[in-house]
């Protein structure tokens, strides 16, 4: 859970930094997107690196879901008779929404790949012009796309708020002072990634990027 | 005070069990929660009914025998307090109070509010001890312990094994208990010889007993009457990672 989660967080950071290149203009962004497909060339031919990265990500996602499912099934089995009177978990909101939040994020990732990787659900859907795809995606008249994107990114934020802390704890973070630090790191990462991902659709919505 | 109690009644391990409503009048706000149940039981006995079974022993909050989920909270609404040390002044006159046993597969109900916490003993038997020779107490200063380690070990050693962490955990995990017992010994010089076989044995016993897995939700530490901190679980995790990395060196006889 922790190891696959950290791989995915590192990907999220790189992906966000890439997204922010949209503010450098269409030519630069498209150039960056094309470069992504050819990283490692000429050492690795063509899209090899891309597929190695994709394989690592898919393995991480599947491992992450497998671990989460195991934990959820164990939790269910560990309490066969439920409480008649059960208070909501006193721990953070983020901690108690990890499982359903994860499902929402998975659905979003599937949609997101169909939208901006394959272009199937994108109004432009031209893989050679990613900048145009993004601008068309978050156009004001497609407000529901922006809304779904925003909710999903916020779900990712909550997931990381607990997930990053929990991963550090699972990997042996053990002092009270370290716990405070780990919680701050989790909060900063969660808020930072949320803001980094949300500026793009809102820049398109407000016409800053067009 | 007049109270309405909804109590889990279950005749034995095989009985299905149900919530039963009782009216208890003239409760003093200075009574402890268990004394209030004593009053109810005396009236039940006088009326020829079966009294409500619940575990209790010292009634001073140090033995770990008592424990019940009161209005959805393990040991009731007051922080850092066992059910026996909880007083009725924390409830309002006319209130309805739900009382249930600890709910976990590893804690089967024996009767009413009494559960079998033998699985905690199995975890202890799997490594919660040291192999120091017994006899007269050694000179305390002969084995120096860093103050920070002594304090943290003492904090973990405060665990009374009541099982509230399991009862409150959304995953039904007993990891706070296991972590408290592991770290109490692994922080001290006397606990070093078995440090790594201990953590593996105790976590294995924990999983075999049918407890759930820890997701660091933190519910356990919120209800723990002894305030065992959540970072003890990090200490267990670190020992576990080290132990699995070097397991071959530490398994006796290998």
Do B121 and B49 share a domain, yes or no? no
Asked if B213 and A166 come within 8 Å (Cβ–Cβ), the reply is no
Query: Which residue among A80, A89, A175 sits closest to B170, beta carbon to beta carbon?
Result: A89
CB B72 within 8 A of CB B98: yes
The SS3 assignment for A117 reads helix
Asked if A77 and B105 come within 8 Å (Cβ–Cβ), the reply is yes
Residue numbers in B near A82 (CB within 8 A): 103
Q: Which of B111, B145, B179 is the last residue of a domain?
A: B111
Asked if B106 and A176 come within 8 Å (Cβ–Cβ), the reply is no
pLDDT, residue B53, reads 98
Residue numbers in A near B69 (CB within 8 A): 83, 85
Q: Which of B64, B82, B111 is the last residue of a domain?
A: B111
> Which chain A residue shows the shortest CA-CA distance from B8?
A84
pLDDT, residue B247, reads 54
Distance CA(A156)–CA(A94), nearest Å, equals 10
Cβ of residue A177 closer than 8 Å to a chain B Cβ: no
Do B7 and B86 share a domain, yes or no? yes
Asked if B103 and A92 come within 8 Å (Cβ–Cβ), the reply is no
List the CATH number of the domain containing B130.
1.10.1060.10
pLDDT digits (tens, 9 = 90+) for B84-97: 999 999 999 999 99
List the CATH number of the domain containing B62.
3.10.20.30
Q: Give the distance from residue B133's alpha carbon to the nearest chain A alpha carbon, in angstroms.
A: 30
Query: Which residue among B106, B170, B222 sits closest to A75, beta carbon to beta carbon?
Result: B170
Do B130 and B80 share a domain, yes or no? no
pLDDT, residue B254, reads 41
Residue B210 has pLDDT above 80, yes or no: yes
ipTM score of complex:
0.92
| CB contact set of A144 (below 8 Å; sequence gap of 6+) | none
Q: Say what the alpha-carbon torsion angle B185, B187, B193, B199 is, to the nearest 10 degrees.
A: 60
Number of domains chain B contains: 2
Do B106 and B132 share a domain, yes or no? no
Do B207 and B168 share a domain, yes or no? yes
Range of the domain at B101: 3-111
Do B123 and B107 share a domain, yes or no? no
Cβ of residue A171 closer than 8 Å to a chain B Cβ: yes
pLDDT, residue B138, reads 82
Distance CA(B156)–CA(B140), nearest Å, equals 20
Confidence of residue B248 (pLDDT cuts 50, 70, 90): low
> Which chain A residue shows the shortest CA-CA distance from B20?
A84
Interface test with A, best of B215, B233, B244 (most A CBs within 10 A): B215
**The three-state (H, E, C) secondary structure of B175-214, written as one string:** HHHHHHHHHHHHCCHHHCCCHHHHHHHHHHHHHHCCCCCC
Query: Which residue among A74, A82, A170 sits closest to B237, beta carbon to beta carbon?
Result: A170
Do B17 and B127 share a domain, yes or no? no
CB B36 within 8 A of CB B24: yes
Strand duo B69-70 + B3-9: pairing: unpaired
Residue B251 has pLDDT above 60, yes or no: no
Do B131 and B14 share a domain, yes or no? no
Asked if A74 and B171 come within 8 Å (Cβ–Cβ), the reply is yes
Mean pLDDT of chain B: 94
Do B76 and B158 share a domain, yes or no? no
Per-residue pLDDT of chain A (210 residues; tens, 9 = 90+): 999 999 999 999 999 999 999 999 999 999 999 999 888 888 888 889 999 999 999 999 999 999 999 999 999 999 999 999 988 777 788 998 999 999 999 999 999 999 999 999 999 999 899 999 999 999 999 999 999 999 999 999 999 999 999 999 999 999 999 999 999 999 999 999 999 999 999 999 999 988
Q: Give the distance from residue A165's alpha carbon to the nearest chain B alpha carbon, in angstroms.
A: 9
Query: Which residue among A75, A174, A175 sits closest to B171, beta carbon to beta carbon?
Result: A75
Q: Classify residue B15 by its DSSP letter.
A: S
Q: Which of B85, B111, B137 is the last residue of a domain?
A: B111
Q: Percent of chain B, pLDDT > 90?
A: 89
Residue numbers in A near B170 (CB within 8 A): 75, 89, 96
pLDDT digits (tens, 9 = 90+) for B109-158: 999 999 999 999 999 999 999 987 778 888 888 889 999 999 999 999 99
Cβ of residue B77 closer than 8 Å to a chain A Cβ: no
Query: Which residue among B104, B213, B230 sits closest to A71, beta carbon to beta carbon?
Result: B213
Do B126 and B244 share a domain, yes or no? yes
Do B131 and B241 share a domain, yes or no? yes
Query: Which residue among B210, B229, B234 sits closest to A78, beta carbon to beta carbon?
Result: B210
pLDDT, residue B170, reads 94
Do B71 and B180 share a domain, yes or no? no
pLDDT digits (tens, 9 = 90+) for B42-67: 999 999 999 999 999 999 999 999 99
């Amino acid at each position: 859970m922790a190891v696959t989660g950290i791989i995915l967080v590192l990907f999220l950071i790189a992906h966000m930094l890439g997204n922010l290149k949209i503010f450098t203009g269409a030519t630069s962004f498209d150039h960056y997107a094309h470069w992504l497909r050819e990283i490692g060339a000429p050492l690795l031919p063509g899209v090899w690196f891309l597929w190695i990265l994709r394989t690592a990500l898919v393995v991480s996602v599947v491992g992450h879901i497998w671990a989460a499912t195991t934990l959820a099934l164990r939790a269910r089995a560990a309490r066969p008779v439920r409480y008649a009177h059960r208070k909501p978990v006193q721990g953070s909101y983020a901690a108690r929404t990890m499982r359903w939040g994860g499902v929402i994020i998975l659905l979003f990732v599937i949609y997101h790949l169909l939208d901006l990787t394959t272009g199937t659900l994108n109004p432009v859907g031209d893989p050679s012009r990613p900048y145009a795809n993004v601008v068309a995606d978050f156009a004001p008249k497609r407000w529901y796309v922006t809304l779904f994107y925003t909710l999903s990114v916020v779900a990712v934020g909550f997931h990381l708020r607990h997930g990053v802390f929990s991963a550090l704890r699972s990997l042996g973070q053990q002092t009270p002072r370290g716990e405070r630090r780990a919680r701050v790191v989790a909060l900063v990462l969660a808020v930072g990634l949320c803001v980094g991902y949300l500026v793009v659709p809102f820049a398109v919505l407000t016409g800053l990027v067009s | 005070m007049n109270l309405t109690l909804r109590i889990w009644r279950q005749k034995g391990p095989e009985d299905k069990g149900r919530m039963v409503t009782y009216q208890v009048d003239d409760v003093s706000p200075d009574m402890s929660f268990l004394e209030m149940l004593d009053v109810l039981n005396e009236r039940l006995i006088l009326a020829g009914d079966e009294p409500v079974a619940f575990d209790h022993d010292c009634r001073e909050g140090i033995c770990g025998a008592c424990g019940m989920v009161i209005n959805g909270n393990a040991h009731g609404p007051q922080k850092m307090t066992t059910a026996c040390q909880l007083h009725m002044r924390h409830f309002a006159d006319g209130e309805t109070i739900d009382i249930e046993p600890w709910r976990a597969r590893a804690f089967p109900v024996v009767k009413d509010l009494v559960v079998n916490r033998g699985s905690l003993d199995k975890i202890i038997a799997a490594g919660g001890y040291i192999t120091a020779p017994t006899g007269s107490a050694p000179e305390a200063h002969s084995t120096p312990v860093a103050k920070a380690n002594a304090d943290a070990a003492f904090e973990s050693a405060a665990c009374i094994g009541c099982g509230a962490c399991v009862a409150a955990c959304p995953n039904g995990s007993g990891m706070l208990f296991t972590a408290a017992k592991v770290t109490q010994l692994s922080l001290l010089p006397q606990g070093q010889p078995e440090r790594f076989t201990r953590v593996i044995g105790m976590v294995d016993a924990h999983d075999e007993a049918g407890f759930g897995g820890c997701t660091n939700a933190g519910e356990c530490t919120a209800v723990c009457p002894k305030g065992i901190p959540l970072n003890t679980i990090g200490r267990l995790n670190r020992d576990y990672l080290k132990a699995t990395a070097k397991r071959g060196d530490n398994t006796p006889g290998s």
